[in-house]
Amino acid sequence: MPIEKHEYTNGEVIVVWKPKLCQHSTICWKGLIEVFNPKERPWIKMDGASTERIIDQVKQCPSGALSYYLNNELNKEINTGEPE
């Protein structure tokens, strides 16, 4: 069965969140609460920061729970460094 994932987009970039991989390290919301706010629903608000800033924060996720791909690269999911 494919791993559960949720996608959020601002039209330019699609952020993928895989809850089962999330280690609740707090890095994303401590780094960018305007976008990643676990107290709100949806917890990722794509209009909270620029595309570049969001990508920069996604890359800092240590678990691979957050990844992204650009809207013009629909088949190319860019991972955050850690293997799944």
In the complex, the residues that contact ligand SF4 under the rule CB under 6 A are 22-28, 61-63, 65-66
Query: In this complex, which beta carbon is closest to ligand SF4, that of residue 38 or of residue 73?
Result: 38
Residue 76: Cβ-neighbour burial (10 angstroms; 0-12, 13-18, 19+)? exposed
| Tokens coding 4 | 């559960």
Half-sphere exposure (Cβ direction) of 23: Cα atoms closer than 13 Å: 9
Q: How far is the CB of 63 from ligand SF4 (least distance, A)?
A: 4
- Specify the residue, 42 or 62, whose C-beta has the smaller distance to ligand SF4: 62
Q: Which is nearer to ligand SF4, 25 or 71 (CB)?
A: 25
